[in-house]
Amino acid sequence: MGQQRWPWGRLALLLLYLAVLGLVWMAWRDPTWRVLLSPVVLAQVGREVLAWPLGPVWVLLAYVVAVVLGMPVLALITLGVLIFGPWPGMAYALAGMVAGAVVTYGVGRLTGAQALDRLLKGRLQLMSTHLHRRGLWAVVLLRVLPGMPFIVVNLGAGALRVRWRDYVLGTVLGLLPSTVLISLFMRQVHQAVRTATPEAWLALWGGVLLVGGALWWLRQLLRGQK
């Protein structure tokens, strides 16, 4: 009897999780909550949290919660730079996103592939082909290439029981280039806005080309690994 009930329990767990994500999405659409969740307000809160006892631990836990609630990777990296500066922000963002990816991997593993594939309308089956055939490189590719949301990859990898080592290492390798490039780019944006000199704006546009070119080259390289 327990074995028959457990699939329904998995589905109930997944539906509860999706309901929480839906509430977060509704809060984001509300003007009042949108102000409270703006990067400026979150940056101020982050600075206050960092000053608490064990502040870095609380910051990492906040990142985990943000990943679990489906916050985009770009927003997580940007907030890290705004709160802590380029290099510390990069470290917090990367560590927090990897930790959050591990937690959501666990959620996907608990809910199972069958329940998750129904809600993703077959997209999990598409992921399964690449993840089981290429392992580590498939995880890296899914992290770098656009089109598959971060949280969907996390849940899907857990549901498909991708090897732990491939998943964690692939997540780190896939997130590292974009985290470094976006952090440096955000520093250049801050410099250009603060000084408003032609040289700063020229450096900013150079950074845009550098980031775009580097990401394009990395995507081409990883496509060759398919």
Q: How would you class 19 by CB atoms within 10 Å of its CB: exposed for 0-12, middle for 13-18, buried for 19 or more? A: exposed
pLDDT confidence band for 91 (50 / 70 / 90): very high
Q: Are 42 and 69 in contact (CB under 8 A)?
A: no
What contacts 79, CB < 8 A, 6 or more positions away? 39, 42, 43, 46, 89, 93
Mean pLDDT to the nearest integer, 77-94: 86
The pLDDT of residue 4: 47
Helices within the chain (DSSP H only): 2-29, 31-36, 39-50, 55-68, 73-84, 86-111, 113-119, 123-134, 136-144, 150-159, 164-195, 198-223
Q: Are 10 and 110 in contact (CB under 8 A)?
A: yes
Q: Please state, rounded to an integer, the average pLDDT across all residues of the chain.
A: 76
- On the question of pLDDT at 96 being above 90, the answer is yes
- On the question of pLDDT at 188 being above 70, the answer is no
Q: What is the pTM of this model?
A: 0.76
Q: Are 79 and 46 in contact (CB under 8 A)?
A: yes
Q: Are 83 and 43 in contact (CB under 8 A)?
A: yes
Q: Provide the b/e sequence for 190-209 (b: ≥16 CB within 10 Å).
A: bbbeeeeeeebeeebeebee
Mean pLDDT to the nearest integer, 195-223: 62
The pLDDT of residue 2: 44
Q: Are 86 and 183 in contact (CB under 8 A)?
A: yes
